[in-house]
Amino acid sequence: MIWHQNTIELAPASRGFHLVTDQILAQAPELTNCEVGLLHLFLQHTSASLAINENADPDVRGDLERHFNVMVPENAPHYEHTLEGPDDMPAHIKSVLIGPSLMIPVTHGQLALGTWQGIYLCEHRDNAGSRRVVATLQGRW
């Protein structure tokens, strides 16, 4: 059993749901050596999240963004944490709802994602910078 860990830097993204599968794969070349295993991805931020969803139709990403903005609005009168801007507290709530981590099976050196699945960076801030993801690979080479 082999363990490998590195930190992946995702490019800054606008607010919304973004496919980042290719960015992650480009910064995890050791994945191709893994015959069977698990890739754990952990986002080191509190105002963004990771998810797996539709990788083909970009309308899905837009619909998700619009839904979350209705479900978790800015400027709600009950928010106390408001010093960092109107998008900050909703970003924290969205991050809690979606979550900061994913566990993905690895088979024959590839992520065992379904045909229409991709990894999303769910960026919940209006002006976020780059995001760091700790990638931990456990498996048999």
| pLDDT (0 to 100) of residue 60 | 97
Residue pair 68/94 in contact (Cβ under 8 Å)? The answer is yes
**How far separated are the first and last CA of the chain, in Å rounded?**
7
Q: What Rg do the C-alpha atoms of the chain give, in angstroms?
A: 16
Evaluated on CA atoms 80, 84, 87, 91, the torsion sign reads negative
Could you report the per-residue pLDDT of 60-76, keeping only the tens digit for each? Answer: 999 999 999 999 999 99
| pLDDT (0 to 100) of residue 63 | 98
- Amino acid sitting at position 20: V
Could you report the per-residue pLDDT of 18-33, keeping only the tens digit for each? Answer: 999 999 999 999 999 9
Helix, strand and coil in the chain, % to nearest 5: 25, 40, 35
Both tokens of 28, joined, read: 């995890």
Q: What is the DSSP letter of 32?
A: G
Provide the residue-wise pLDDT of the chain in tens; the chain has 141 residues. 899 999 999 999 999 999 999 999 999 999 999 999 999 999 999 999 999 999 999 999 999 999 999 999 999 999 999 999 999 999 999 999 999 999 999 999 999 999 999 999 999 999 999 999 999 999 999
